[in-house]
Structure 1
Amino acid sequence: MNYILFDGPGREQLLPFTYTRPVADIRLGMTTLREKWEFFLRQKTSTLTRDYLAEKFPLKTEEKNILINASVIPDARLIEQIRQLGDGQALVKDEVMIALFVHARDVESMEDTEPEAVLCEAPVRRLQHVWEIFSMNNDLLREDFAVLTKGRKSLPLSSTNFVLGDPDLIFLEEGARVEFAFLNTTDGPIYIGKNAEVMEGAKIRGPFALCESSVVKMDAKIYGGTTIGPHCKVGGEVSNSVIFGYTNKAHDGFLGNSVLGEWCNLGADTNVSNLKNTYEPVKLWSYVTGRFENTGQQFCGLMMGDHSKTGINTMFNTGTVVGVFANIFGDGYQRNFIPSFSWGGKHGLTHYNLKKAFQVAGAVFARRHKRFDETEEKMLTRIYEITYDQRR
């Protein structure tokens, strides 16, 4: 069977992160949603997403396909029901389509099909809002750790480290380096990925995941519910946050209850407020309604899209949304919503010149031995166009 992950109607609720990726490629817990599905399905998937993303995330069809709602978090019970779907059947929970069996001719017109509904018996969890990326992360880190380390043997932990809690809840992949660090598993496990490094003096409380080739810098303070994706450098103080990958927060400064996309860089002493002085629920910019909406969260910091960067000493208010490719600098608290391809700060924003933006991206990619190619340019050019009105 061929499996395809589709974005679903809630994609816009997950902007700005879904400007540059399908829902399936959002990181949540130790892995992306796609990686979770592929682990349980034991095979690769492709994606049904927006047209402008399709070149980077191509669709692969076969005569028989099962389309799966990528916002759903998989487990063994759900996989069993999906595998039992027959021709023309859809797995449904609370009027939400979880999966659909279709032939190749109907894949891209799935909305026009009239399938036989099969009630999903298993509990279903879905990622529906951007703040759930960090609010659900604590539980998913524990679940992913249990599943992905089961039956496997960790590299031995160096005796130079100080461990509080169960040392069996620390797992080191091949090439991982941890020396003279403080590791606390009292509240959850700690996972250190392949070729990742925890520098001396770092203090880490689980649940926590440091993914492949990433670095926690000296004297960093990392609190539970935090995921650092692959190829990142992180220092300072971080609490209950998710960093997707290829992003640096290498210096001092606080990041809490926040989500950073890929290819971001926070300048030294960038600080994020995650709690209002009034202790009221935080409001966050909604791309769907075009206004600030109540999240119901008392703690909520920064949602930053891919390629955005800050100058030194940048300060973000509680509940700030930054789009794709924003360059933010200057004194004082920044605005609570900064559109994609913005340049400036509190005292005024202008359009980020697209040619200059691509030059920066090319230099950043080259540092990581990657090529910023025509596919990336076309995708980002389209995002520049569709977000134009936000900058007016």
Structure 2
Amino acid sequence: MNYILFDGPERNALLPFTFTRPVADIRIGILTIREKWEMRLGSTTTTITEEYLSEKFPMVEMEENVMINASFLPNSILAEMIKNLTSNQAIFKNEDIIAFFTHENQEEVDFDTYDIIQFDGDCLRVEHTWDIFAKNDTAIREDFELLTEDRKSQPIPKSVNTIAKENIFIEEGAKLEFVTLNASTGPIYIGKNAEIMEGSVIRGPFALCESGRVKLASKVYGATTVGPHSVIGGEVNNSVLFGYSNKGHDGFLGNSVLGEWCNIGADSNNSNLKNNYEEVRLWSYETESFAKTGLQFCGLMMGDHSKCGINTMFNTGTVVGVSANIFGAGFPRNFVPSFSWGGASGFTTYLTNKAFETAKKVMERRNVEFMEEDAKILEQVFEVTKKWRKE
């Protein structure tokens, strides 16, 4: 069967992260949503997404296809139901579509003509940016079970101090010595060729993905995910780094999400709790206003390729778009549009030619090429976000 993951209406609520990727390629837990589905289904997937993203994330359509709403995270029961879908069947959870069967020549889908199957079980769903860190605890636990089932961990080095070592899994090539791992509060997964440097103290749930690094004497609270080739240091609490991003120095990052190719300068901090302990509001690209999150703790949402200089201070509930460069004294406002250059004293436009020069240099350091399709995506983001910048 050919499986296609589609964005759905949740895409706009997941900006700025979906400016540069489909919903399916958001990382939550240990794996991306796409990787979870592919492991559960035993099949590759393609994507229906925004037209400007489709060159990098194409769709492959066959005679028979199953479309899956990428905002839903799979479990074994849901994956089995989807594998068993046949012509003119659809799976709903209450009023929300999860998956449906289509034919290549089917121009319109009328669910009134479908056999509707209700999914009554529990499953995770990512509908808002803050869900990525707020639901990361459960997501790490589910991915840990999926990835480690019937497998044996590499041995834990003798110098490592552990609590509940049965909940620790180490992949081949990982390096760690003289660190403390407390997995009594949740599992700890250490990916292939990852490294945890001496003196670090980590409390689960925690995921360090392939080639990720935790620097000397770091303090990490769950539920935290450090994506592939990402680096953390200082103090990190309940945060997700998608991949290739750095928060490598002292300073606090809490209840936050960083996309790819982000860099947090030394001694930078974000607030994750308001002084008056009120509910945090977060910028919404859908309503172009600040929306209630229902959360008391909510920190920084930073889109791909954004950076901040040393000693940057972020207010509670700050949203930074794509390719922003923030520096200087004081608190920048809590919505920084994409391609902004500056800080608390004001912003100018970060022109694409300058942003692309930086992106190329940053990616070359990790042996990744900045492709023409990447430039096209960022050029489109520059255009669609122009209305929020003060030119």
TM-score surpassing 0.5?
Answer: yes
8 Å contact kept, 1:204–1:222: yes
8 Å contact kept, 2:167–2:184: no
Residue by residue, what CA displacement relative to the aligned partner does 1:226-267 show, whole Å, maximum 9, x if unpaired? 000000111010000000000000100000000000000001
The residue type equivalent to 2:147 in the other structure is L
* Pair 328,125 (structure 1): closer, same or farther in 2 beyond 3 Å: same
* Pair 110,15 (structure 1): closer, same or farther in 2 beyond 3 Å: farther
| Structure 1 residues without counterparts, runs of 5 or longer | none
- Within 2, Cα distance between the matches of 1:10 and 1:369? 33
TM-score (norm 1): 0.97
Q: Which residue of 2 aligns with 1:154?
A: 153
- Within 1, Cα distance between the matches of 2:108 and 2:278? 42
Q: Which residue of 1 aligns with 2:87?
A: 87
Matches within 5 A, 1:54-203: 54-106=54-106, 115-116=113-114, 117-163=116-162, 165-203=163-201
8 Å contact kept, 1:197–1:216: yes
Q: Which residue of 2 aligns with 1:352?
A: 350
TM-score (norm 2): 0.97
The residue type equivalent to 1:47 in the other structure is T
Q: Structure 1 residue 223: deviation in Å?
A: 0.4
- Within 2, Cα distance between the matches of 1:350 and 1:111? 46
Q: Structure 1 residue 89: deviation in Å?
A: 2.0
One of 336, 357, 367 as aligned partner of 1:338: 336
Q: Structure 1 residue 154: deviation in Å?
A: 0.7
The residue type equivalent to 1:203 in the other structure is V
* Pair 381,311 (structure 1): closer, same or farther in 2 beyond 3 Å: same
| Structure 2 residues without counterparts, runs of 5 or longer | none
* Pair 13,362 (structure 1): closer, same or farther in 2 beyond 3 Å: same
Q: Structure 1 residue 149: deviation in Å?
A: 0.5
Q: Which residue of 2 aligns with 1:207?
A: 205
Q: Structure 1 residue 347: deviation in Å?
A: 0.7
Q: Which residue of 2 aligns with 1:240?
A: 238
8 Å contact kept, 1:93–1:124: no
8 Å contact kept, 1:48–1:59: yes
- Within 2, Cα distance between the matches of 1:115 and 1:166? 52
8 Å contact kept, 2:179–2:199: yes
Q: Structure 1 residue 91: deviation in Å?
A: 1.1
Residue by residue, what CA displacement relative to the aligned partner does 1:168-199 show, whole Å, maximum 9, x if unpaired? 11111010001000111120111100000000
8 Å contact kept, 2:41–2:83: no
Residue by residue, what CA displacement relative to the aligned partner does 1:317-345 show, whole Å, maximum 9, x if unpaired? 00000000000001011110000000001
Aligned partner of residue 372 in structure 1, secondary structure = coil
- Within 1, Cα distance between the matches of 2:196 and 2:357? 32
- Within 1, Cα distance between the matches of 2:121 and 2:275? 41
Matches within 5 A, 1:213-252: 213-252=211-250
- Within 2, Cα distance between the matches of 1:356 and 1:175? 37
8 Å contact kept, 1:89–1:115: no
RMSD (Å), alpha carbons: 1.1
Residue by residue, what CA displacement relative to the aligned partner does 1:34-88 show, whole Å, maximum 9, x if unpaired? 0110010011100000000000001111100000000001111111221222212
Aligned partner of residue 358 in structure 1, secondary structure = helix
Q: Which residue of 2 aligns with 1:382?
A: 380
Residue by residue, what CA displacement relative to the aligned partner does 1:144-185 show, whole Å, maximum 9, x if unpaired? 11221011111111111111x211111110100010001111
Q: Structure 1 residue 137: deviation in Å?
A: 0.3
- Within 1, Cα distance between the matches of 2:108 and 2:82? 17
Tell me if 1:305 matches 2:303.
Answer: yes
- Within 1, Cα distance between the matches of 2:222 and 2:152? 23
Tell which deviates more after alignment, 152-161 or 308-317: 152-161
- Within 2, Cα distance between the matches of 1:146 and 1:101? 29
- Within 2, Cα distance between the matches of 1:390 and 1:265? 23
* Pair 110,344 (structure 1): closer, same or farther in 2 beyond 3 Å: farther
Matches within 5 A, 1:261-272: 261-272=259-270
Aligned partner of residue 264 in structure 2, secondary structure = coil
User: Between Structure 1 and Structure 2, how many residues are aligned?
Assistant: 389
Residue by residue, what CA displacement relative to the aligned partner does 1:257-313 show, whole Å, maximum 9, x if unpaired? 000000000010110000011010100000000000110100000000000000000
- Within 2, Cα distance between the matches of 1:371 and 1:82? 36
- Within 2, Cα distance between the matches of 1:170 and 1:84? 34
Aligned partner of residue 9 in structure 2, secondary structure = coil
The residue type equivalent to 2:149 in the other structure is K
Aligned partner of residue 105 in structure 2, secondary structure = helix
Q: Which residue of 1 aligns with 2:322?
A: 324
- Within 1, Cα distance between the matches of 2:99 and 2:169? 34
- Within 2, Cα distance between the matches of 1:124 and 1:217? 34
Q: Structure 1 residue 123: deviation in Å?
A: 2.9
